[in-house]
Structure 1
């Protein structure tokens, strides 16, 4: 009897293990399709913009929780839809680049038709939800979506080194979406945060392009280091990071703590970019720049939320 049951138990264990791996693979495919980290880094500024609008208009969150849900869910779906459409369109490039070879569009885990329909559906639902907030917030979201999907992904990415600047517009509108759901976006705070995001994305993307130089070159993507060289990219990195230096002083309304933290981060980043001229390993230096840029953005927006909590005011 024992001998008869053992194979059955093994088969059951193997089936359970197979199901576990299938579930794990599916989750990994979803995260890859939605570019999980990119999506989170774009939702955080929306959240911050919304929170700061409440703070500066003296509006209670309890009065706007439904608007908050529509804003966060709607903007997340719009951005997720744009990222999915990017994966759909770039499948030929992703097949060549090592960093993207595991995306479900490349592996065939998801059909391209399904990915296209998913991207369009998510975008449409997101825009509908945002229309329940304000028209202005929806316009900002559309600007970001159109810039990323049409002007960046389908037009400039493969042709011009300015693709980075064009793509940066899509990320820059995110705090404006959150703010405009509560109040008009012509306030200096969301505008400066939008400018900060636009500038930030340049050195952030340059770091990725240097890290993956060989892959972008093989895929014939017109990234700055591929077309103009790494030394030129390093010089531009320093210029863009230097342009971040005055921005904290335009946000004095957020208090001394925010200004001090942001200024320290800017100085550290600027010094780190200058060390790139003496780096023996460009890709290792670029990896450091990439990690710093990601943490920089998270810290800036989290601190902006923290310093405006009622307990600190």
Structure 2
């Protein structure tokens, strides 16, 4: 009896620890399934677009909280559905690449059927919420979903190096979704923000492809470095970053500090890109370029919000 008395607490502790591990593993699988960092990176421009539409229209953000929730939740669910669909479709190449081997579709933690159904349900729910905003926001969200799932994932990713250009359209629509939920998106600001995201994604994705060159090659994915080599990729990265240089000057409505900051970041990123022509450690340089790209887009869209807050006006 004494052994049972002392054994029970130990068993309870083990069970509790086991449950925590199970929960932790489940949360980790969810993050991998929906590519947590990618989802967050796409949510920020939606928020920025929405806020700037409020700012330029002179509306009150507090009076549009319900609209903001519908826009943010709807667009995020659509993106989550698209990412789940991507995981479902790409399970064969994900099982080859080290960077994707831990995804629950590869490990078997989630069945492929369950992931597909989840992706469809999240997509439909997201569009359902967006229907309570504007038709324009729904159209932009659909363009993003269709481009990512059909034109990128199913058609071009494994066949053409232009897959990066095609896939970039899905990211470019995000500020347009946020803006058009409030106001028509014909304004120069959302158009330029969408163009910045579109152009930015090429050097950003090429940097990833260089870092993971061996994996993409083994999986047979037609990324630019795999098909045409590092030298061509470096040249294209420099060209695309150079194309970013004039874009901040079309965003003077956001204020001189924004234009100056964006220009300095563009020049700095271009300098790092040019340095790549002289480096011998291509993968180390590619990692630096990747970090530059992530910080570039995050700072740019956060500053677009911060510099238009009432405290600065």
TM-score tier (shorter): over 0.9
State the secondary structure of the residue aligned to 1:277. coil
Unaligned runs of 5+ in 1: none
Q: Provide the C-alpha distance between the structure 2 equivalents of 1:128 and 1:15, rounded to a whole number of angstroms.
A: 41
| Aligned twin of 2:304 | 304
Which residue is 2:217 aligned to? 217
Corresponding residue number in structure 2 for 1:29? 29
| Aligned pairs for 1:149-298 within 5 A | 149-298=149-298
Name the structure 2 match of 1:62.
62
What whole-Å deviation, never above 9, does each CA across 1:98-136 have from its counterpart, x for those lacking one? 000000000000000000000000001111111110000
Q: CA deviation at 1:259?
A: 0.6
Distance apart, 1:3 and its partner CA:
4.4
Q: Does 1:87 align with 2:87?
A: yes
| TM-superposition CA deviations, 1:61-108 (whole Å, max 9, x none) | 122111111100000000110011000000001000000000000000
CA distance in 2, matches of 1:173, 1:51: 15
> 1:37-71 deviations in whole A, cap 9, x for unaligned?
00000010000000000111111112211111110
Deviation at 1:212, TM superposition (A): 0.4
SS in 2 for 1:96: coil
Gaps of 5+ in 2: none
TM superposition shift of 1:311: 1.3
Distance 2:180 2:242 in 1: 29
| Helix, strand or coil at the partner of 2:95 | helix
Q: When the two structures are superposed, what TM-score results if normalisation uses the length of structure 2?
A: 0.98
TM-superposed CA distance for 1:2, in Å, is 5.5
Number of equivalences: 313
| Alignment match, 2:102 | 102
What's the C-alpha RMSD, in Å, of the aligned pairs?
Answer: 1.0
What whole-Å deviation, never above 9, does each CA across 1:154-199 have from its counterpart, x for those lacking one?
0000000000000000000000000000111111000000000000
Could you say which residue in structure 2 is the equivalent of 1:15? 15
Q: Quick one: distance in 2 between partners of 1:9 and 1:64?
A: 52
- The C-alpha deviation readout for 1:12-58, integer Å capped at 9, x for no partner, is 22211111111000000001101000000001000000000011111
Deviation track 1:232-264 (CA, whole Å, cap 9, x = no partner) reads 001100000111111110101110110111111
Distance in 2 between residues matched to 1:269 and 1:90, nearest whole Å: 32
